[in-house]
């Protein structure tokens, strides 16, 4: 609801009471008209304007109408009628105030819940990234090592007896590329760590998948896992929080990598994106790992359920709540012939969803 | 430099495109042209392993790792002087590589003079 200024709120009470008086006079229906004015004032103005409207209505009612219909001989009846009128208007004001407070506390509770979820998601992100420190350091070290080599090469061409400027220039421009890559990776890591309130923006899921692969590429190759993508190009974008969606992809991909660490045979992580019915996108993360825990497949999304030695049991729980807050679904299935697949849907047209 | 050495190929196997380019560029400064391969599989499929006089390989790669590549080459009786370059090799990994016949085990970022010296020596051997 739009927030009105104090002046507007009390102005509303004055105007509505005034209008009620003007309207009530010709049609001789004071109670209904003043009740309406009080309702409007307390509904849109709050307690203060509501009470002001009650006072104005009671005065007008008493001064202009009460004794016109009730001559002084019926003093008791007139007084009762006035009393009923005042009680009715006060009750309406009180009801409106209660309604407002209930709504306010519900909004506050929702806000607190949203903040708690976002804090939890942040903790999960930091924990996950913490586990990846070695890999991320390697990911940054890789382009830096290339930069050192390219810079050395550049020096070699320049310090020859016959400097080769063309070769030196090439080596220097390779150095620039290397350093740019290192900076990109650092900024990606920083973005993933950043804690912010959930945003709603247009997000390209294929881009998110590619970004997470860059961060996890090393972790995968350390475990001799090949990463393959089947991404349908030009997918419609989804409305959502980029960092949170990255987090879901990261959780699913890390789970897949962990599931394959100790299996013999093919170790392949496959990530697919495609369109589905009802303007939805489906993303799938499949591995050839140990598969879902038997007899407990439905529990993997529960809080504190984990099969990992150092797992928190929160990754899939948080992932599911993120996907659901985006109006989508997240579920798991066995992969054939081996391993597990995680599927998630995301709507490309998001209705007002809280 | 022995003429025989020059006819032999230097092969670079690394999944990182920047590193491949950097190594190739560095070897060019001493007049060596190197072939690059993005994976161990690609190198094994190329058939170039029999003409290779020196192999520079990363340890960690998706699919076949550097150490597995070395084992496969040894199994094919194709003993190529191999230089491993890795970001953080532990002592165990280093010993395993050297025992299997690697000539050197360098940590990134590595000393360019050291690498070039070893490559020259490998080609002349």
- Note the pLDDT tens digit of each residue in B48-96: 888 899 999 998 887 788 989 999 998 988 889 999 998 776 788 888 8
C-beta separation of B39 from B31 below 8 A: no
Half-sphere exposure of B88 (CA within 13 A, CB side): 11
Do A142 and B25 count as a contact with CB atoms less than 8 A apart? no
Q: What angle do CA A215, A217, A221 make, to 5 degrees?
A: 145
C-beta separation of A267 from A260 below 8 A: yes
SS3 A226: strand
Largest CA distance in chain B: 37
- CA A217 to chain B, closest CA, distance in angstroms equals 8
Q: How far apart are CA A9 and CA A45, in angstroms?
A: 5
Q: Give the other-Cβ count within 10 Å of B91's Cβ.
A: 8
Neighboring chain B residues of A220 at a CB cutoff of 8 Å: 62
Residues of A with CB under 8 A from a CB of B: 134, 138, 141-150, 152-153, 156-157, 167, 170-171, 174, 177-178, 181, 217-218, 220-222, 224-227
pLDDT at A27: 85
Q: How far apart are CA A9 and CA A126, in angstroms?
A: 46
pLDDT tens across A108-117, in order? 888 887 777 7
pLDDT at B3: 41
Q: How far apart are CA B37 and CA B11, in angstroms?
A: 7
Neighboring chain A residues of B108 at a CB cutoff of 8 Å: 141-142, 145
Segments of chain A scoring below 70 in pLDDT: 1-3, 68-73, 192-198, 310, 312, 350-354
Q: Is A176 exposed, middle or buried (0-12, 13-18, 19+ CB in 10 A)?
A: exposed
**ipTM for the predicted complex:** 0.88
C-beta separation of A237 from A273 below 8 A: no
Q: How far apart are CA A190 and CA A215, in angstroms?
A: 12
Neighboring chain B residues of A227 at a CB cutoff of 8 Å: 62
What residues contact A113, with CB distance under 8 A and at least 6 apart? none
Largest CA distance in chain A: 125
**Inter-CA distances, A302 with A123, A216, A313, A318, B54, Å:** 17, 25, 8, 9, 53
Q: How far apart are CA A286 and CA A271, in angstroms?
A: 6
- CA A148 to chain B, closest CA, distance in angstroms equals 7
Do A174 and B21 count as a contact with CB atoms less than 8 A apart? yes
Q: Give the other-Cβ count within 10 Å of B38's Cβ.
A: 16
C-beta separation of A179 from A216 below 8 A: no
pLDDT at A78: 80
pLDDT tens across B5-64, in order? 446 789 999 988 999 999 999 999 999 999 999 999 999 999 888 889 999 999 888 778
- Best residue in A138, A139, A152 for a mutation probing chain B (most B CBs within 10 Å): A152
Of A279, A204, A199, which Cα lies nearest the Cα of A237?
A204
Phi and psi for A173 in degrees, rounded to 5?
Answer: -70, -30
* Pairing between β-strand B34-37 and β-strand B9-13 as defined by DSSP bridges: parallel
Q: How far apart are CA B90 and CA A4, in angstroms?
A: 67
Residues B95-109: what's their mean pLDDT?
Answer: 87
Retrieve residue A134's tokens.
């070695």
Do B22 and A142 count as a contact with CB atoms less than 8 A apart? no
pLDDT at A271: 96
- Residue that has been written with the tokens 């879902």 in this structure: A292
* Pairing between β-strand A340-347 and β-strand A280-286 as defined by DSSP bridges: antiparallel
What residues contact B44, with CB distance under 8 A and at least 6 apart? B64, B69, B72
Q: How far apart are CA A188 and CA A132, in angstroms?
A: 14
In chain B, the N- to C-terminal Cα span, in Å, equals 10
Which stretches of chain A are DSSP H helices? 6-27, 30-45, 47-60, 67-69, 75-131, 133-158, 165-193, 205-222, 242-260, 315-325
What residues contact B45, with CB distance under 8 A and at least 6 apart? none
Neighboring chain A residues of B109 at a CB cutoff of 8 Å: 141, 144-145, 148-149
Do B61 and A174 count as a contact with CB atoms less than 8 A apart? no
- CA B1 to chain A, closest CA, distance in angstroms equals 19
pLDDT at A352: 43
């Amino acid at each position: 609801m739009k927030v009105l200024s104090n002046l507007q709120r009390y102005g509303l009470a004055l105007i509505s009471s005034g209008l009620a008086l003007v309207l009530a006079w010709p049609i001789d229906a004071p109670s209904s008209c003043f009740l309406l004015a009080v309702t409007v004032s307390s509904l849109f103005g709050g307690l203060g304007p509501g009470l002001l409207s009650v006072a104005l209505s009671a005065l007008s009612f008493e001064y202009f109408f009460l004794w016109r219909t009730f001559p002084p001989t019926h003093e008791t009846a007139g007084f009762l009628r006035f009393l009923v009128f005042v009680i009715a208007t006060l009750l309406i004001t009180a009801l409106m105030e209660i309604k407002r407070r209930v709504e306010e506390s519900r909004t506050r509770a929702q806000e607190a819940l949203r903040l708690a979820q976002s804090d939890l998601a942040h903790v999960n992100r930091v924990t996950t990234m913490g586990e990846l420190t070695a890999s991320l350091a390697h990911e940054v070290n890789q382009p830096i090592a290339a930069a050192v080599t390219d810079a050395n090469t550049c020096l070699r061409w320049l310090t020859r007896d016959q400097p080769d400027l063309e070769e030196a220039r090439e080596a220097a421009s390779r150095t620039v590329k290397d350093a740019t890559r290192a900076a990109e990776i650092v900024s990606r890591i920083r973005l993933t760590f950043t804690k912010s309130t959930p945003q709603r923006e247009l997000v390209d899921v294929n881009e998110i998948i590619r970004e997470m692969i860059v961060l996890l590429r090393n972790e995968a190759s350390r475990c001799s896992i090949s990463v393959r993508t089947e991404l349908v190009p030009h997918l419609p974008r989804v409305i959502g929080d980029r960092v949170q969606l990255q987090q879901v992809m990261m959780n699913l991909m890390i789970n897949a990598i962990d599931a394959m660490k100790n299996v013999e045979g093919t170790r392949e992580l496959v990530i697919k994106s495609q369109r589905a019915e009802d303007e939805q996108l489906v993303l799938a993360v499949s591995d050839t790992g140990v598969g879902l825990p038997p007899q407990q497949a439905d529990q993997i999304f529960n809080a504190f359920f984990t099969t990992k030695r150092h797992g928190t049991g929160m990754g899939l729980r948080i992932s599911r709540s993120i996907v659901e807050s985006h109006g989508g679904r997240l579920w798991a299935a066995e992969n054939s012939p081996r391993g597990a697949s995680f599927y998630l849907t995301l709507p490309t047209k998001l209705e007002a969803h809280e | 430099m022995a003429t025989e050495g020059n006819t032999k190929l230097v092969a670079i196997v690394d999944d990182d495109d920047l590193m491949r380019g950097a190594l190739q560029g560095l070897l060019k400064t001493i007049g060596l042209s190197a072939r690059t391969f993005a994976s161990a599989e690609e190198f094994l499929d190329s058939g170039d392993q029999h003409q290779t006089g020196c192999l520079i390989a990363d340890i960690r790669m998706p699919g076949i790792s550097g150490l597995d590549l070395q084992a496969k080459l040894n199994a094919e009786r194709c003993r190529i002087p191999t230089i491993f370059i890795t970001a953080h090799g532990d002592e165990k990994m280093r010993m395993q590589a050297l025992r299997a016949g690697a000539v050197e085990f360098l940590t990134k970022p590595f000393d360019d003079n050291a690498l070039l010296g070893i490559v020259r020596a490998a080609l002349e051997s």
